Structure 1
Amino acid sequence: MMAEKKLGDLFYDTLKDIYFAERQILKTLPKLAKAAQSEELKAAFLTHRDETEMHVERLTQVFDIIGKRAQAKTCEAIKGLIEEGDEVMEEYTGSEALDAGLVAGGQAVEHYEMSRYGALKTWATQLGFKDAAALLDQTLQEEKKTDALLTRLAEQTINRKAA
């Protein structure tokens, strides 16, 4: 019989999942910036790339706090979201709607990250990893800020231009 899985196991598995996701996102953001037509959107993707480097670093610190080796576990969800973004870039290149598609794809990724970081922060608190919870919350707040920026860009200019 398998040993019963506990919250600590779920925390570690989810940490490995988001570690994989962040590293994939780090590779994807420069492609999104290159594809974006709006200078503001290009800048947003490049700024988020720099933040994502810090997110990977913070995750490494969280692994250290819980006494585990930083390791990635393939995240099919993020792979799917990135594939969708690749399809938008391919199908809408040269279109006024490209940036709107890039924003929507970027927000899908942000929402995935926010759900993961929110759960991880709550679990870290429950498990007594106060320092880990603080690091995870810091990243969660940055993800929320990026999502809000993408919303603002979409509503103020990008969606109007695409219409």
Structure 2
Amino acid sequence: MQIVPRKAALVGLGAAGVLALAVAVPTVALAEDPTPAPSVSSSGAPSSDTPSRTEQHEERRTERNRQLAEGLAAELGVDVDKVTAALEKVQGDLETDARQERQGRLKERLDAAVEEGKLTREQADAIIAAGEAGVLGGGKGGGFGPRHGGR
């Protein structure tokens, strides 16, 4: 085993310290996000002055619909209000159709579960009633996959 002179050991230790700082400082700087995190109440819920994801989604959707209506109105030479009203009507009709289709699929799955003995008729009827009352989740999906409205 070779004995390292004290001066060489101190220089090596100093170099290791500088290297550690050279790695740590940029890492910390990159980890700091310049955008502020949403404020959270003591209950863990976002504060009331922070729009929810649903509200943000609705705002973006409203803005896209406004841009679409303006573009269509300009392209077709029609009043923007008339195009907006038509879009709202068609979207409402499509949402109603989709809701009815989801309810039909739910009823089919529940009927199958009753036939297989996994649920009683009363349980299935209660779930159907909850779905019709809007108690169950689903509807306008916020993403992809089974947890976001997909299958």
In the superposition, the TM-score normalised over structure 1's length comes to 0.30
- Which entry has the higher C-alpha Rg, 1 or 2? 2
